[in-house]
Amino acid sequence: MKMRFWGVRGSIPCPGSHTMKYGGNGACIELRVEGRKEIIVIDAGSGIRELGNSLVANDLPNGPLQLALYLSHTHWDHIMGFPYFTPIYIPGTKMTVHGPVTYEDDPLKDVVGGQMKYRYFPINVGELASDIEYKRLREEPNIDLGDGLLLTTKFLNHPITALGYRFEYKGKVFCTCYDHEPYRNLFITDPDHPEYDEAMAYEGEEVAQEQNQAVEDFFKGADLLVHDTQYTEEEYKTKVNWGHSTFEWAIASANRAGVKRLALFHHDPDRTDAQIEEMEKTYCEPGKYGNTEVFFATEGSEIIV
Amino acid sequence: MEEEGAAHRKAITRFIKRMPSLSTTVGKVMEICSRTDASPNELNKVISLDPVLTGQVLKLINSAYYSLMNKVTSLTRAITMLGMNTVKNMALSTAIIRSVSGAKKSIALPTKQFWAHSIATGVCAKLLAKANGVPVMECEEYFVAGLLHDLGKIPFGDEYIDVLQKVKVDYLPLIDLEREMLGVDHQEVGRQIAEKWKLNEAMTCAIAYHHDVEAAPEEQRVRVAYVGLANMYSNILDLGYAGDPFPAPEGADAMLEITGLSWDMFGAVAKDVEAEIEKAQVFLQS
């Protein structure tokens, strides 16, 4: 498998002189599996625009595009590039959009296509020339995608329903785990609090730990893991419940799970190149945090899995 | 005729007296769910007090979110994994439908069809409100108001069969014939149930004024108009059956004006109604 980062930022694109090195575009990853005509795309943040241009220039001449877009979730920074993805305007393109939908929300087609209404955009989703199908995903192990490619999906902890994806091909594993915040005990743990309930406090703790373990099991042994690391431990103190992880958490849990390479991803839009370079010294020093090779995801970089 | 009317009223009052009260649990769930500052502990405790409700909520969560793996087996687990809001919404809808379905069924109206109409009206009210820019957090109340609007039909006895028959033969609005033949209409009966169950003013008004929107208190009129329109919509399109396939069309313009909806917007909900109804049906599975 070969993957390429087309966008590595969280929250909002942040182009400018301070983000030239690691990139300012929002989440988008391209995944190619040898011998497979269908190209996999994970997330449609603003980075998908350049991916679209590249596909039109380099792949379209070989025949109509077959695409499978997997959305981690439908927050805006992960879908905002969709209207600017040129292949959707090209007749002959076949694309399946997969993603989770929060219960009681609109169908996936409306959530993603809803940004293509005249009030937001000059072209309506109904006017697209390509053939697009929408499929709601839930948590499921070992979905057979054909050609020996297996997919496992896992619910993550985020304010809306979000999925992590685990692709397995010929014994190699590529995994995404974003947007995600470690599960924690939501129940009152102070025995002196008037609403304290021992059983709830105990089970809340147990479930949080168990779910964190389930996420680790999900990316166990991955050759490459792309993990949400929007904050430092210090920053996180004021961002609890925002749905994102810290560097410290991601590195420790990737280590425990025997992940071979960990890409720190979903960089905070305020994080400058200079800051990331400084952080590399702390977080990416070989051997400092165990055997996992840790690096900051960089827009445009390509990795063979 | 007057004597007959008085007899019907007496029978209905007796029926309502014997109806079960809205359970304390449901009342508390409603209260917790309408507060934004409720803690996970409070929510958990209130739902857990009622083991049947707990079971239904968990079943709903499992069918909506999970396949075979990773079954959610406790409320603490559900709240940790899915968050407060999801669990809150599911508990509220489940609790209301259950308590209403628990009441003795009307003999004249087939239960399944009656609830299909109620769900369709709830769904339409919610979609219309949403289409017109009502904040998403408030739309659930429109659903519940639509769901409960015809509660007042439940206590009618055998005499209702004749009324429903005459509606079909003469193509007349049901409420006119209720007044003419029974001397009491389902809005008035519904209000008595709402009072017994101590439903809030928004729900009570939806039940008591959906055919007479302009008579509703001013601060409730807009929501009542949405329910009135939604009711008309599901009646005309035969979504379920609650005995009123020929509603008086005159009220529609006034209700559109009150809500600020256009005829086009009214018609445009059609594309989503079916999918939404299917989603809501899940609440009725036991």
- Residue B104 confidence (pLDDT) above 60: no
For A103, the closest of B44, B64, B80 (CB atoms) is B64
- Residue B281 confidence (pLDDT) above 70: no
Contacts of A185 in chain B (CB under 8 A): 80
Residue A125 or B196, more confident? A125
pTM of this structure = 0.69
Could you tell me the pLDDT band of residue B148, with boundaries at 50, 70 and 90?
confident
pLDDT of B54 over the 90 cut: no
ipTM at complex level: 0.70
Q: Identify all chain B residues contacting A208, using CB atoms and an 8 Å cutoff.
A: 80
Identify whether A179 is preceded by a cis peptide bond (ω within 30 of 0). yes
Q: A154 vs chain B: nearest CA distance in angstroms?
A: 10
Do residues A22 and A267 lie in contact, with contact meaning Cβ atoms separated by under 8 Å? yes
State mean pLDDT over B194-203. 81
Chain B residue nearest residue A243, CA to CA: B83
Domains of chain B: 20-102 (no CATH), 105-286 (1.10.3210.10)
Tell me: the pLDDT tens digits for B244-280? 999 888 888 999 999 999 988 888 888 788 877 776 6
Region B204-217 average pLDDT = 94
Q: Which domains does chain A have, with CATH numbers?
A: 2-304 (3.60.15.10)
Task: Using the predicted structure, report yes or no on whether residue B68 has a pLDDT greater than 50.
Answer: no
- Give A153-156's long-range contacts (Cβ < 8 A, gap of 24+): A154/A214, A154/A215, A154/A218, A155/A100, A155/B65, A155/B70, A155/B81, A156/A72, A156/A180, A156/A215
pLDDT in tens, A270-302: 999 999 999 999 999 988 878 899 999 999 999
A19-77 pLDDT, tens digit per residue, is: 999 999 999 999 999 999 999 999 999 999 999 999 999 999 999 999 999 999 999 99
Instruction: Indicate the pLDDT class of residue B99, thresholds 50, 70 and 90.
Output: low
Tell me which chain B residues have a C-beta less than 8 angstroms from the C-beta of A104. 89, 279
Q: What is the pLDDT of residue B141?
A: 77
